Amino acid sequence: MTQLTSRRRFRLQRRSLVAGLGGLAALGPIRLARAAGNPKVVVIGAGVAGLSASKTLSAEGVDHVVIEASERIGGRIYTESTTFGTPCDVGAHWLHNGETNPLVPFARRSGIDVYEAGEVEGLFAGGKWLEGDAEEEIWDEVDDAESAINRAVDRDRDVSLRSVMDSDTSPLAAFLVGAYEHAASVGSLSTIDWDRQEEGTDMFHDGALGSLAAAWGAEVPVQFNTAATRVDWSSRGVKVQTSSGTIEADAVIVTVPTSVLAKGAIKFGPDLPQETARAISDLPLGSYNHIVLQMTGNLFEVEEDTMLCYAGNGGTAGLLVNAGGSGLTYFDVAGDFGAKLTRQGEGAMVEFARAALRDMLGAEGLTSLTKAKAFPWEANPLAGGAYTAARPGRARARERLKRPVADRLFFAGEATSISKPATLDGAIAEGARAARVAADEVT
């Protein structure tokens, strides 16, 4: 590979958010909640928002129960070790907003090294590594696109990014501005929602993020394999019907992904208010999936945790090479192309990654590949995608979704975070926020 000497690097707030949590055995047992009696609050979902809500309710002295449809905690964070014989974050791998993310000081207190993530160090398009003017041209396109978006925001125009960008913006630049960070392509992203997301320090840590989150949430009591099917709020309080029976409470905090709610996996009686239901539909989960590659040697000739971006073979992708020194490369597809490829199945996803390796590294790239597996989260019924991106014209949906319904239905998660959506930091903060409001109502 050509030596990477980019004169300008691009900080990406890349939001790779997706599913559950593994590797719990080494962390000790999870305590199971007992549903005896009627709790004050039911928390639906044991992702980081639900775990955060539970921690806050406990601190407030509010009796509550956390129910989770799966057999594990973590929501859209998941580490597995079986496929490659080493821990693999098939969901989130980044600690965004290192200055405010509670998992950063938790990792440090646990003796785990936390370090700043790098920047994009190489671009590949048109069958070659871009250098000099060719590379600078892509970054100029990115700058031009961001300037156009900022001008639209200054005029309070809530439109798609695509509608204000130059029509000849290259697929690679459009990927960098849109899908690589936001899990949705520029035609599906709201200018105002895109602009409101805070930029903090992206960080990695020495280990797998799923295991870190497991340790952070290990003391939260959870009823596993308990799926909520209906929330009855027709009279005072709520009745949460589950696969294990009905729980009566004063209030409920719903932390499941918007795509799960939009397909009606949990019914509400009476129906949710129109503005809440509309907010759910206006905040769909985008597509952002890992195709994980296990490779021998260092054909890319880069250090671990190096970020690269690729355009070719009809699509775009981002790479995190030798993540954490694990020997695993996260090959990420996202947005419209990623969603289309994911619908074609894991075989098509892996084949695209193989073709890209051949494109970037030649035949030797394929011989260095020992194993590859795709993780398509849209197919996961408890996730339905990666993380939310407000539709154009619907930037205010996050505010609408976080409004309490009848002072006893509360929604929380990255979807309700205005400034930190699509991040663990935002989900944790929103779980705590909803818990504090619920505690005020039930005590």
Short-list 433, 374, 396, CA closest to 191:
396
Residue 4 lies in a domain: no
pLDDT at residue 30, rounded to an integer: 33
Give me the sheet containing 369-375, strands edge to edge: 128-129, 120-125, 306-312, 315-321, 328-334, 288-295, 369-375
Residue 343 lies in a domain: yes
**If you write DSSP's letter for every residue of 368-404 in order, what string do you get?**
TEEEEEEE-GGG-TTT-SS-B-PPTT-TTHHHHHTS-
Residue 289 lies in a domain: yes
Rounded to a whole number of angstroms, the distance between the first and last alpha carbons of the chain is 63
List the pLDDT tens digit at each of the 443 positions of the chain: 433 433 333 444 333 333 333 333 333 333 333 444 689 999 999 999 999 999 999 999 999 999 999 999 998 998 999 999 999 999 999 999 999 999 999 999 999 999 999 999 999 999 999 999 999 999 999 999 999 999 999 999 999 999 999 999 999 999 999 999 999 999 999 999 999 988 899 999 888 999 999 999 999 999 999 999 999 999 999 999 999 999 999 999 999 999 999 999 999 999 999 999 999 999 999 999 999 999 999 999 999 999 999 999 999 999 999 999 999 999 999 999 999 999 999 999 999 999 999 999 999 999 999 999 999 999 999 999 999 999 999 999 999 999 999 999 999 999 999 999 999 999 999 999 999 999 999 99
pLDDT at residue 199, rounded to an integer: 83
What 3-state class would DSSP assign to 341? Answer: helix
Looking at the structure, do residues 356 and 296 belong to the same domain, yes or no? yes
Looking at the structure, do residues 242 and 169 belong to the same domain, yes or no? no
Looking at the structure, do residues 369 and 395 belong to the same domain, yes or no? no
Give the number of other CB atoms < 10 A from CB of residue 125: 19
Residue 20 lies in a domain: no
Gap between the Cα atoms of 173 and 144, Å rounded: 10
Looking at the structure, do residues 224 and 103 belong to the same domain, yes or no? yes
Q: Which of 355, 379, 403 is the last residue of a domain?
A: 379
pLDDT at residue 367, rounded to an integer: 94
Looking at the structure, do residues 361 and 213 belong to the same domain, yes or no? no
Looking at the structure, do residues 273 and 398 belong to the same domain, yes or no? yes
Looking at the structure, do residues 173 and 289 belong to the same domain, yes or no? yes
Domain count, the chain: 2
Residue 90 lies in a domain: no
Q: Which of 350, 379, 408 is the last residue of a domain?
A: 379
Give the domain extent around 336. Answer: 120-196+285-379
Give the pTM: 0.92
Looking at the structure, do residues 239 and 262 belong to the same domain, yes or no? yes
Residue 220, both tokens: 């939260």
Tell me, what CATH number does 189's domain have?
A: 3.90.660.10
Residue 11 lies in a domain: no
Looking at the structure, do residues 435 and 414 belong to the same domain, yes or no? yes
Alpha-carbon 204 to chain mean position: 15
Looking at the structure, do residues 217 and 360 belong to the same domain, yes or no? no
Backbone angles phi, psi at 258, to 5 degrees: -60, -35
CA distances in angstroms from 125 to 159, 166, 356, 363, listed in the order given: 29, 19, 10, 18
Give the number of other CB atoms < 10 A from CB of residue 260: 22
Looking at the structure, do residues 110 and 32 belong to the same domain, yes or no? yes
Residue 87 lies in a domain: no
Short-list 7, 313, 296, 314, CA closest to 138:
7
Looking at the structure, do residues 275 and 291 belong to the same domain, yes or no? no
Residue 2 lies in a domain: no
Task: Find all residues with CB under 8 Å of 43, minimum gap 6, and list them.
Answer: 50, 53, 54, 57, 64, 65, 66, 67, 252, 253, 255, 435
Tell me, what CATH number does 244's domain have?
A: 3.50.50.60
